[in-house]
Amino acid sequence: MKVNKLIVKSILISLLLLSFSFSKDEGIKSLYTIRSQADLFTTDNFGNTYLIKADEIKKYNSQGELLKIFSAKNLGKITSIDASNPLRVLVFYKDFARVLFVDDLLSQNGDVIDLLNLSLEQSDAVCTSFNNGLWFFNRQNANLVRLDENLQTVVNTGNLNRLLGATFKPNFMLEYNGYVYVNNPGEGIFIFDIYGTYFKTLPFKDILHFQVKEDRLIYFTGKELRSYDMKLLTEAVLPFSNVSDARVEKENYYLFFKDSLAVKTHAN
């Protein structure tokens, strides 16, 4: 039964993403719009939306209703957040070399992590890992580092510039299903396993953010929202005009503008 459910889930996701070949706005209807200025945004697998403006996070539920607001003004501007685990959301403050976690109510969970104490103060990108771990890309040594839940180093790749003959300047990364995806805009998306072993590179350049859903990479190029099947090596496109960024959660499209976020879905 469990296997059948996984198969059905995979088919549904594939059908959704294959629908990206539709022409602009064909068969698409609006669900709601959130009117709020933001610098960046993300979503979680419950359909919640997180809008980030300077030091503030606003969390909205799947109906577009404001739930909570969080701010830690003494830590400066938020660089990124990782809501892969909606119960333990990572908030990264690059300028102050700090990381903290908030729960599903946006209440701070535990102490602020000072990266200076971990010799990771020059980290350019951070994301969550399995078993409450953390991944860091450290600019000083050009290495990928994984810490466990006790903030002990369990993976250190060594200098990736030398090992892979690349120039690493990542701006985003995430862990999904046993792999770490490191976005290096000048060269592509580098994929490693959870032990830090290099796997392969996807040749998509100049990307700001992306998602991984099942076997598909979902990314926004600046003009189009695209879905790339990493097994079949095929790509599908759903264009939206004047959008700054976009994400997909279940059957919904989250379209980000500087003054609002529009959520759309397929019309029945």
pLDDT, average across residues 244-262: 93
Tens of pLDDT, residue by residue over 197-241, are 999 999 999 998 899 998 999 998 877 889 999 999 999 987 787
- Among 143, 153, 157, 135, CA closest to 80: 135
Task: Return the pLDDT at 232.
Answer: 95
Which uninterrupted H or E stretch holds 6? helix 2-18
* CB 125 within 8 Å of CB 173: yes
Q: What does CATH list as the number for 2-37+94-266?
A: 2.120.10.30
Task: Return the pLDDT at 26.
Answer: 60
Q: How many other C-beta atoms lie within 10 A of the C-beta of residue 225? A: 22
Task: Return the pLDDT at 63.
Answer: 96
Q: What is the per-residue burial (b if ≥16 Cβ within 10 Å, else e) of 43-67?
A: bbeebbbbbbbebbbbbbebebeee
- Among 152, 144, 54, 46, CA closest to 89: 46
Task: Return the pLDDT at 104.
Answer: 97
Percent of the chain, pLDDT > 70?
A: 90
pLDDT, average across residues 136-145: 97
Distance CA(45)–CA(83), nearest Å, equals: 9
Sign of CA dihedral 177, 179, 185, 188: negative
- Residue 265 token pair: 């879905």
Task: Return the pLDDT at 241.
Answer: 75
pLDDT, average across residues 137-148: 97
Domain limits, the chain: 2-37+94-266
pLDDT, average across residues 51-75: 97
- Phi first, then psi, for residue 220 (nearest 5°) are -115, 125
